[in-house]
Amino acid sequence: MKDMMPSFNLVQPADLESAISTLTDAGENGWAMAGGQDSLDWFKDRVKRPTTVVDLSGIASLSGITETADGVEIGALTTLTTVENNAIIKEKYGLLATAASRVASPQIRNKGTLGGNISQDTRCWYYRSGLDCYRAGGNTCYADTPEGMNREHCLFGASRCVAVTPSDTAVALVSLEASMVIQGSAGERVVAAEDYFIGPAIDITKMTALQDGEILTTIRIPAKWAGAKFYFEKVADRNTWDFALVSIASAVKMNGSTIEDIRLTCGAVECVPKRLNVVEDIVRGSEANEETAELGAGAASRGASPLNYNHFKVPLMENLVKKAIRG
C-alpha cells in the first residue's frame, strides 16, 4: 500500500482566518500543509491519516521578507530559496542564509518553506515506518535497544525517545534569538525559538509548541545580531539531501579579539536544537584563540550519553564548537 495516499478533504483557504477555523474544527484530524515536502511523504507512506488537509500556499500574507525597525520578519511560507538569496538576510543575518542553503537540494529548497523546515517531524526511520514506538503511542523505543540502529540519534535529552529534530535552519534561528509568531482561534502568541522546539519529556507526541488548530505565521529576527560574526557548519554523509549528523550555528559579537557576546547552538545531538549555554558562559569575555576554543569544546560534550552507534558524535561536536569559537 506504499505510495497510495488515503483519502482526505483538501481545503485551500485564501485567508488566515479561514485556515485557522478549518483546522480548529478538524481538531487532531486536521493537517496544515506548507510546501508539502514532508507532508506528502507521510501521506504516501500511510503513517499519517488526516481527514482534513489545509493547504496554506494560497495565503499571500504568510510569504515574504520585511525589514523593520526591530529587525526582520519572515513569513512562514517563504521558500528556503528566497531566504537563501534575499539581500537583507545575506547582508545582516547571513547565518540563516547559509543554513537555508544547506537544506536538502535546490529543487526541494525551491518548494520547501522556512516554516515547514523548522516544524517538520523527526526523521527516525522506526517512527516514520509506522512502528508503535513511544512517539507513536507505543511502549518501546526501537532505536534505543542493543540491536537498534541509532547512528543519527541523540547524545543529550533522551526521555524514552532518542530521535533528534532534523531542521538545519532551526539551529540558526535559535542562535539569532528569533521569535515565532503563532496564530490560533484564541489569538496570537509569540514564542522564543528556543522554546518553540520541545523535547519528549514535555510532550513525546510533538516536536514543536504548535497545538491543534494553530499556524506558525511569522519568524522574527531581532536587529540585535544583525551584522554579527557568524559561523555555520553541517556535517552529513552527503553534501545534498542528507540530514545533519551534527551541525553548529554561532553568532558572535567581537570587541577586537575578545568575544563580547556569543550564542552557540548544536543540531542533531538532542531532541531539540541544543543551546550551549555553559560554553557561552565560559568563552564570553575571553580571547578567541585556541585555548578558549579547547575550554569551550570540553564543556560542550559534558553530560553526553552516546548510544551504541553514535559515539563519533562526541568528538565531532567538540571539533565543530572549536571551529565556531575560532571562527
Per-residue confidence at 327, pLDDT binned at 50, 70, 90? confident
pLDDT of residue 179: 98
pLDDT of residue 122: 96
pLDDT of residue 2: 61
What's the whole-number average pLDDT of the chain? 96
Q: Tens digit of pLDDT for each residue in 256-305?
A: 999 999 999 999 999 999 999 999 999 999 999 999 999 999 999 999 99
Q: Tens digit of pLDDT for each residue in 98-138?
A: 999 999 999 999 999 999 999 999 999 999 999 999 999 99
Go through the domains of the chain in sequence order and give each one's CATH number.
1-59 (3.30.43.10), 60-119+169-224 (3.30.465.10), 225-326 (3.30.390.50)
Per-residue confidence at 1, pLDDT binned at 50, 70, 90? low
Rounded CA-CA distance 174/277 in Å is 12
Q: Tens digit of pLDDT for each residue in 231-253?
A: 999 999 998 889 999 999 999 99
Rounded CA-CA distance 68/221 in Å is 10
Is the pLDDT reported for residue 45 higher than 90? no
Secondary structure of the chain in the HEC alphabet? Answer: CCCCCCCCEEECCCCHHHHHHHHHHHHHHEEEECCCCCHHHHHHCCCCCCCEEEEHHHCHHHCCEEEECCEEEEECCCEHHHHHHCHHHHHHCHHHHHHHHCCCCHHHHHHCEHHHHHHCCCCCHHHHCCCCCHHHCCCCCCCCCCCCCCCCCCCECCECECCCCCCHHHHHHHHCCCEEEEEECCEEEEEEHHHHECCCCCCCCCCECCCCCCEEEEEEEEHHHCCCEEEEEEECCCCCCCCCCEEEEEEEEEECCEEEEEEEEEECCECCCEECHHHHHHHCCCECCHHHHHHHHHHHCCCCCCCCCCCCHHHHHHHHHHHHHHC
pLDDT of residue 204: 96
Residues ≥6 apart with Cβ < 8 Å to 91: 227
